[in-house]
Structure 1
């Protein structure tokens, strides 16, 4: 089982089917908040939907295409973070994340994104880490900005969110820049 300890409070653990109830509980608790920025909330209506999501993530992990983890804060699942895609040909890891609304403001996601970036570069041998966020999602955008990622541009109408398109801001970190930090 993949477990990555970040610090005394935080670790990342590969998703397991037994996590479905807690993930659904967090999704339901933060549904309206998350719905502003994430496109999958309307497809997650019950625990079985979360269980099916986890099965899919486990398949992607087995195929070495992605790694989806739950975020453990003081031993409790509080969100999820992943390499949504691992592009082995181009050596790029695409990071995604979400956190329950009740756990925001504690620096959790910045530490998680730091750990995922460091692991991608130092352990997986990736040359680039990519983080994308909706242009107006300033909280999410603040994470790569705090970590020193380069703002590389905007993808117009990159994602359909229920009834409108949102533009994505692309942030990148190259291995050579990460190692110079």
Structure 2
């Protein structure tokens, strides 16, 4: 009788033990979560929410979504903690709903509490993104995020369809030998006609020569890819008042990668730190959101509107004026590095 009870107990214990193992749901992590699964959809939805302006500009929402130990490594290589990224996003220009979107997401479950989401951001400067989400105290929070500029083919002055690495873009002094590349830039888009008179090789050489012969008054810097000019940033200096008028342009084939934004940051640091200027000014057309992004990202503050200043294709366009003082706060933009030969 005792033997029968013992036998039944052992058999039932084995069944119970196996059931417990099954309930504990041991997995061979990592697991690629199927598209459309509940967990994958939840993480992707949370990531998308963080791309919306209403979330990005809300300190309360960001504190809820970002883990207290959150860290981010930006595309520039700069590291941010939770407080720094919240402060940066507060200064970010507002975007239309849905302007940014999580593309090609792949969710990888690393444990019961961790999910890694790999995805792409195609708006603006295309980038590869990685987000690590952790489940604590009944909710998912973003623990770590990293963005890396995506390598992708684009037209260039060098080999066709070359893949450009951001590390190969620098800022250096303008040279007379840049005239050919200036002509190429002015030929890249009809809107370049508003930047000056350089629509022929001869005019481009005269354009460059005039900037160089102006000496210290024109602080003209080439935005260069592998030392070849693809854009220009310049500060026209008013030495009597220690001010400068900042202006910039990019070859059409190199726009949309934040190169102008980062090159202006390099120029701003030079004008403030090396030349000791106090006030920097710039103006931009009301219908030029790209230029507005360059200005505001670099800490320039809106000071006024010059109504109907420019006549473009028969339409009067307002001009927005911006300025930044040496005493104003800085910006979170990572400047482009100086070339080996400034």
Give the TM-score normalised by the residue count of structure 2.
0.45
Q: Aligned pairs, how many?
A: 167
Aligned equivalents of 1:66, 1:169: Cα separation in 2? 22
Q: 1:161 to 1:60 in 2, by over 3 A?
A: farther
Question: Which residue in the other structure is 1:10 paired with?
Answer: 169
Aligned equivalents of 1:180, 1:11: Cα separation in 2? 19
Aligned equivalents of 1:94, 1:180: Cα separation in 2? 19
| 2:326 counterpart of 1:175 | yes
SS in 1 for 2:327: helix
Which runs of 5 or more residues in structure 1 are unaligned? Answer: 1-6
Partner residue of 1:152 out of 303, 310, 316? 303
Q: 1:162 to 1:180 in 2, by over 3 A?
A: closer
Is 2:174–2:212's contact at 8 Å kept on the other side of the alignment?
Answer: yes
Aligned equivalents of 2:266, 2:327: Cα separation in 1? 17
Q: CA deviation at 1:39?
A: 5.1
Partner residue of 1:130 out of 278, 281, 299? 281
Question: Which residue in the other structure is 2:10 paired with?
Answer: none
| 2:206 counterpart of 1:52 | yes
Aligned equivalents of 2:331, 2:290: Cα separation in 1? 26
CA deviations on 1:75-121 (whole Å, 9 max, x unpaired) are 331111111x2011111111110001111121101111111111111
Q: CA deviation at 1:69?
A: 2.3
Partner residue of 1:117 out of 245, 268, 273? 268
* Larger RCO (CA under 8 A, 6+ residues apart): 1
Which runs of 5 or more residues in structure 2 are unaligned? Answer: 1-165, 333-342
Partner residue of 1:34 out of 169, 185, 192? 192
Q: 1:166 to 1:24 in 2, by over 3 A?
A: same
Partner residue of 1:25 out of 184, 187, 190? 184
Q: 1:180 to 1:10 in 2, by over 3 A?
A: closer
Give the alignment of 1:95-114 within 5 angstroms.
95-114=246-265
| 2:233 counterpart of 1:81 | yes
SS in 1 for 2:265: helix
Question: Which residue in the other structure is 2:107 paired with?
Answer: none
Q: Quick check: 150-159 or 109-118, which moved more?
A: 150-159
Give the TM-score normalised by the residue count of structure 1.
0.82
Q: Superposition RMSD on alpha carbons, in Å?
A: 2.2
SS in 2 for 1:45: coil
Aligned equivalents of 1:54, 1:44: Cα separation in 2? 9
Is 1:39–1:162's contact at 8 Å kept on the other side of the alignment?
Answer: no
Aligned equivalents of 1:44, 1:128: Cα separation in 2? 29
Q: 1:39 to 1:179 in 2, by over 3 A?
A: closer
Q: CA deviation at 1:23?
A: 1.0
Q: 1:167 to 1:50 in 2, by over 3 A?
A: same
